[in-house]
Structure 1
């Protein structure tokens, strides 16, 4: 279970893309509990638990029954298409988040992951308007999250092309700081930051340094920080062979200097760490968990020295 008194309160894995068959999710939780993980991130966006912004009660009851079987803390990944810059569908987006927050409450999850917004490229005035819309929606939903004792974690994402607008990691941090709500924090996805910084010619280590003070949740998985210069592949191993894109590889398979980063950054106490590495790499999970615990120890030690 998570340890709130530490800088890194818990380390674990995500359950991966589901099919609606909750027995698959259960097998993942059993595996993570056997490995000795502290927490699991439930990928509820793909488990057919919400319809039209409403929680499906029978399926939610089945989820609760499963999660109670394991000595794990939980976080929840909301919709992958979550987007508070989506003006046309914003009411539906909010309704879906309310349902996800209800599910967080039912399973005792501490964090709900929400992707930062995406839009087609716009002029400065229109961009300022939709960014304000996103901030207002986040502030509104953070109040709902407060009633459940859940924190919304705003995740930095990368753009697929210059036609897309995405916030930089430092922009995500600025958004969280500007809203200033205790139930809203930043989620650092290190690989996403690496990819977007490469794409835009930014210093990616400076970008994640900007996020660290307002972080509360971390997504850890490896890559080479290479943007999507091609997107057509014939096998899931091909982008990995080329080192292109968001690869979600085991720690050490890419070139992210994990120990350097965790010796450098200071996170708020109670930050949770999820390795977004799924059953495809099952044999590597024990080594990843051991390395992640080492990273957590580095973060705790740095905070102790600073104090």
Structure 2
């Protein structure tokens, strides 16, 4: 049976407002809330900051839902080889805290490649496979699952895996504790950048997606565009807007018909904080509608 989650609004980085942010989610009928570790000042040099971590754990107590976590966005197993041990240390420290908070899924981004590192895509993916296997072993020891999220191109990135390529990487790792986070909007934008068939690529990744990030966009890259403000990006429908599902142009009905998701997949809403107050209940209803049409693997 599919489940529904919602990423907690961010609040202050010192974690002092997390409990109040999570209070807003208590009445939405959720199965899970995603904790935004990437925004919170939880670690310093891969070591815990005690007060911040205590606030996090206290905020998680006695909630009517479970938890997933999005670990730091900068964890990148496609980085230069000499930096990979630090990425792994940050991953492991974050995973420890996520487990203590009661999370089941821990989201990390798939490898990204920049010219300055001198890392080839083939070599970087090979090293990532090795590290993902190690991540899976760490997750198994904590009764968790690592979910690797697909991205798109921005800034100075030269490459990152397409949805289909990420599916191939996960199949090669072949670890039961290493699965996918299928970010639908990221895939939609990346398919535009690559000139790929969005639905075909999505169908390749969906069977690995124990975890799905749900938000909308128009699939329009903004890698080389200028916009004065976030409001103007929204007006042009450019970039990864994290809109309420149904307010962009992602073909949700076709996606639900084309893809097969794991039976216990968690559909987690990543709504931009700008729209939370006005649109959170609407987005929950829209995602529930998609979930009723979505199909599962045998």
Give the TM-score normalised by structure 1.
0.90
Matches within 5 A, 1:96-245: 96-120=90-114, 126-160=120-154, 164-245=158-239
Distance 1:236 1:100 in 2: 30
User: Secondary structure of 1:253's partner?
Assistant: coil
Deviation at 1:110, TM superposition (A): 0.7
Matches within 5 A, 1:2-151: 6=1, 8=2, 10-87=3-80, 88-120=82-114, 126-151=120-145
Instruction: Rate the CA distance shift 1:161–1:280 in 2: closer, same or farther, 3 A.
Output: closer
158-167 or 266-275: bigger deviation: 158-167
Instruction: Rate the CA distance shift 1:214–1:234 in 2: closer, same or farther, 3 A.
Output: same
Distance 1:125 1:254 in 2: 35
Higher relative CO (Cα under 8 Å, sequence separation at least 6) belongs to 1
25-34 or 215-224: bigger deviation: 25-34
Instruction: Deviation per CA, 1:104-145: give whole Å up to 9, x if none.
Output: 1111101111001111259x9933222111111111111001
Instruction: Rate the CA distance shift 1:18–1:89 in 2: closer, same or farther, 3 A.
Output: farther
Distance 1:279 1:11 in 2: 18
| Counterpart contact for 2:15–2:41, Cα < 8 Å | no
User: Secondary structure of 1:294's partner?
Assistant: helix
| Counterpart contact for 1:229–1:244, Cα < 8 Å | no
Distance 1:84 1:142 in 2: 14
Please list every run of 5 or more consecutive structure 2 residues that lacks an aligned counterpart in the other structure: none
Number of residue pairs the alignment of both structures matches? 295
| Counterpart contact for 2:216–2:245, Cα < 8 Å | yes
Query: What's 1:3 paired with?
Result: none
User: Secondary structure of 2:17's partner?
Assistant: helix
User: Secondary structure of 1:33's partner?
Assistant: coil
| Counterpart contact for 1:121–1:165, Cα < 8 Å | no
Distance 1:258 1:163 in 2: 28
User: Secondary structure of 1:13's partner?
Assistant: strand
Query: What's 1:294 paired with?
Result: 289
Give the TM-score normalised by structure 2.
0.93
Of residues 247, 259, 268, the one that matches 2:262 is: 268
Deviation at 1:231, TM superposition (A): 4.3
Deviation at 1:84, TM superposition (A): 0.3
Please list every run of 5 or more consecutive structure 1 residues that lacks an aligned counterpart in the other structure: 1-5
| Counterpart contact for 1:186–1:215, Cα < 8 Å | yes
Q: CA RMSD in A?
A: 2.0
Instruction: Rate the CA distance shift 1:15–1:163 in 2: closer, same or farther, 3 A.
Output: closer
User: Secondary structure of 1:89's partner?
Assistant: helix
| Counterpart contact for 1:116–1:167, Cα < 8 Å | yes
Of residues 259, 284, 287, the one that matches 2:253 is: 259
